[in-house]
Each structure stands twice: as structure tokens, then as C-alpha cells.
Amino acid sequence: MWRRRLLLQALGRLPALAARGPPLGSGGGRAYAPPAGGFEINLDHRKLKTPQAKLFTVPSEALAIAVATEWDSQKDTIKFYTMHLYSGSCCFLKLWITVISADFILQTTLCNTALDNPTQRNKVQLIRAAVKFLETDTLCYRVEEPAALAELQKKEWDPIVAWAEKRYNVAIGSSTSIMGPSIPASTRDAFISHLASYNMWALQGIEYVITQLKSLILSMGLIDRHITVEKAVLLSRLEEEYQIQRWGNVEWAHDYDLCELRARAAAGTLFVHLCSESSTVKHKLLQD
Amino acid sequence: MAALGSPLQTLRGLLRELRHVSGRAYRDTAAYRHVLAAFRAHRVTSEKLCRAQQELHFQAATYLCLLRSVRQHQALHREYHGRGERSPEEVAGLVGFRLPRQPGGKG
């Protein structure tokens, strides 16, 4: 059952003909805009399916290549917990994934629902869940003591909150109380209307990133390419980093969590960008 | 955005990660070709501030972060968490015993 040697090909598919298009390698001069059909992946000359045996199709060529690389990096055993993009896309196809790998039994429930949609949420519910996170946004919860941490929070988090306020023309406060900031309804509406402009795939990705980083503001910063993934993860873990600097780093816990969070945030961001872009390559005529 | 570094560094890092993933034949993989083609296509532009270039660079940096952190996560897992149970020989060896060898099999 374990596939030892994986040969990977991504094919383009035309929906009207329900037939396979030309293989990727021979598609020279292919524009970046993906065809309406979507892309499949072949493993060992068989089509890749989701765990619920649905055909695995993604709308973006780059995403298909990335998932193919994920499968390629599995050596002797298949570790689904490292295949964030594949799991994320599969989750969009309605499934809770239970995986038995050679080492241990792992149950992976992926909230990044794309191909399978286990909780069957529609767009409105997704957006509402995402905006609800604003009330418990990490960046809005400040501490009062220790003073050094409060200072660090102010120094690092305030610029991002200010950027978000300016970019979306909203008012987001920060508070030190246990109840959190009071978010005005206009802010909420602004975010709802902004998120409504993304398609279903991208929304799943956005919601995944928000859940991982525990912050709507940081996720919007990532989606808008304002901050890098490493910086977003650092800001999300600001208190932990402060404690690490104070008390020392425990590699098997801190670094482990850091790498996992980075991987998930990066996968989510990549997912959103690849699913919501449509780029074409324009060749300008050389003028001489 | 300013903290992205140069595109060349990102490209080099990406190729290194792809080499880790695929081993010797990394130049034949679709990912390698796609990455190189994308970087080449967006290299030449007459505009001073090319949004498409920056978008691609950000995407490339994100993908690099993903590959790198997955690899580091796996390495950490292997080193600290993946050991599993000890075999009976190892357990016996902990206290200095050796398991008996029975030529006719057990029992």
C-alpha cells in the first residue's frame, strides 16, 4: 500500500470533453491562467484521489505542482501530517482524515476545508466565523505586567494594528481587560464585505490561517503580503518568544511548535494566494 | 515586505529545498521547472515597481518557508518524538541482560 517510488505528472483537464489534456511537460508556452477544468495529479500512473476516493482536482497549476512535490517528499512511509497542502485541499472535498502510518496512529482533522467539506459550511458561515475571531484577536489582548512584555507588545503589535486600521478604514482597539476590545459593527461589516470578495477555496485557506495564528489581523497582513510568514508567526507567538528569551529555548518543544506553525501558516497563505490569483504572462514587443 | 531579501536568495533556497526533497533527479521534477520558469518570466520588466514581481517573490518566499519548516519539523520529530517503543532486545540491554537464543524456537 505504501508507494515507494512516486512518479508525478500534473495533467490539465478540459471539463467539456471530460478527457485528459496534454501532459504538463509538453505544454510549451502555456499561459499561467489555468484552464477552467482544473488539474489532477498522477501517482505511479494512477490518478490521485482524496481519502474519500473522490478525484483530486485543484484549480491552480502551481498548487497541483506543490501537492505533487509534497507526495514526492514522502520516502518510506507516508506522513500525512507533513502534507499540509494535500490535506487542506482534500478537506475541501468533505472528509475527516484518519491516517495510520508505520509509526503511530494519527487522526488529522483539518479545518482548512477545501475539496471535502466536513462541516458543510457555506460562504456566509465561513466569513462569519472568520470575523468572529476579531473579538478574540491575539493582537488586541495586551498584558499589563511584566512591563517588558507589555512594552514589547506595544512596540511590535501596534504598527500592525495601525496598518490594518488604515488599510481597511476601520477602528480596532486593544485592551488589557479580560473581556477584550469592543469591536464596532462598522469594523465587522468592513471585514465581512472584504472577505466576501474571495472565492470559496481562498476562504477556506483564510479561515485556516486565522485559526492557526489566532489572529484575524495577522492573517490579513499575510494575505495582503504586508508581512512575511516568519514575521507573522513571530508576532503570533510574541509572548512565547519573550519567555524563551528569558528562560531559554527547549528545542523539542519550542522549535517543534515553531516549525509546525510556520508550515501551517505558510501552507494556508500559499493556498489562498494560489486559489485566488489568475495571472497571465504578457509579452511586450521589444522596441528598438 | 522589506524583509524578503533578494529574489536570488529566495531562488537559491527554493532550489536547495527541492534538492532535499527529490535527491539526485531534482532537475527533472515539475516543481523545479515551474519555479525556474516563473522566475525567468518575471525577471525582465520595464516598470520600476512591478507588483507581479513582488507578488511572485512573496509566493516564492512563502513556499520556501513551507518546505523548510516541514523539513525541519520532520527532522525534529525524528530526533525527539519518533522513536517509538523499544524492542525486547533493547529493553534487556538496558539492565545488561541478553535475550536467550533458543535454537528450536520458543516453547
10-residue averages of pLDDT along chain B (107 residues): 74 89 81 85 63 83 92 89 82 90 77
Q: Do B66 and A62 touch (CB under 8 A)?
A: no
| Cβ of residue A61 closer than 8 Å to a chain B Cβ | yes
DSSP character at residue A14: E
What is the model's pLDDT at position A159? 92
Closest C-alpha to A140, from A235, A230, A264 = A235
Beta bridge partners of A40: A11
B21 with A72: Cβ contact below 8 A: yes
Cβ distance B62 to A61 less than 8 Å, yes or no, reads no
For an interface test with B, give the residue of A224, A228, A261, A288 to mutate (most B CBs within 10 A).
Answer: A228
Which of B65, B67, B80, B83 to probe by mutation at the A interface, max A CB count within 10 Å?
A: B65
Confidence of residue A204 (pLDDT cuts 50, 70, 90): confident
Domain boundaries, chain A: 6-116, 123-276
B74·A82 Cβ contact <8 A: yes
Which grid cell is A11?
495533467
**Helix (H), strand (E) at residue A207:** helix A200-213
- Predicted local confidence at residue A277, as pLDDT: 67
Cβ atoms of residues A43 and A7 within 8 Å: yes
The C-alpha of B65 sits at a distance from chain A's nearest C-alpha, in angstroms, of 6
Give the Cα separation of A164 and A233 in Å (integer): 17
Residues A249-277 as b or e (16 or more Cβ within 10 Å = b): eeeeebbbbbbbbbbbbbbbbbbbbbbbb
Mean pLDDT highest for which of A2-6, A11-15, A272-276?
A272-276
What is the C-alpha to C-alpha distance for residues A142 and A176, in angstroms, rounded to an integer? 5
Instruction: Find residue B24's DSSP bridge partners.
Output: none
At residue A121, the pLDDT reads: 66
Length of chain A: 288
Find the CB nearest B29 among A72, A79, A85: A72
Nearest CB to B76 within list A68, A256, A269: A256
Nearest CA in chain A to B81: A252
pLDDT > 70: percent of chain A: 72
> Between residues B91 and A48, which one has the greater pLDDT?
B91
Q: Which CATH superfamily is domain A123-276 in?
A: ATP12 ATPase (1.10.3580.10)
The pLDDT of residue A25 = 33
Confidence at A5, pLDDT banded by 50, 70, 90: very low
Of the two residues B25 and A91, the one the predictor is more confident about is B25
Count other C-beta atoms under 10 Å from residue A100's C-beta: 12
Supply φ then ψ for residue A85, to 5 degrees: -70, -40
- Residue boundaries of the structural domains of chain B: 7-95
Cα(A227)–Cα(A231) distance, integer angstroms:
6
Asked if the C-beta of A103 comes within 8 angstroms of chain B's C-beta atoms, the answer is yes
Chain A CB contacts of B31 under 8 Å are 65-66, 68-69, 72
Half-sphere exposure of A194 (CA within 13 A, CB side): 19
A9 — contact with chain B (CB < 8 Å)?
Answer: yes
> Chain A residues with CB inside 8 Å of B74's CB?
79, 82
Cβ-based interface (< 8 Å): residues of B facing A? 1, 3-4, 18, 21-22, 29-31, 34, 38, 41, 46, 52, 54-55, 58-59, 61-63, 65-67, 69-70, 72-74, 76-77, 79-82, 84
A231 or A21: which leads in pLDDT: A231
pLDDT at A119: 56
Q: How many residue pairs bridge chain A and chain B with CB atoms within 8 Å of each other?
A: 109
CB A84 within 8 A of CB A108: no
| A62–B81 C-beta distance less than 8 A | no
Count of residues for chain B?
Answer: 107
**pTM of this prediction?**
0.75
Over A86-136, what HEC string results? Answer: HHHHHHCCCCCEEEECCCCEEEECCCCCCCCCCCCCCHHHHHHHHHHHHHH
Give the minimum alpha-carbon distance from A42 to chain B in angstroms, rounded to a whole number.
Answer: 12
Residues of chain B positioned with their CB less than 8 A from the CB of A281 = 41
Calculate what percentage of chain B has a pLDDT beyond 70: 89
A30 interfaces chain B, CB cutoff of 8 Å: no
Cα A213 to Cα A228: distance, rounded to the nearest angstrom? 13
A76 band by pLDDT with thresholds 50, 70 and 90: confident
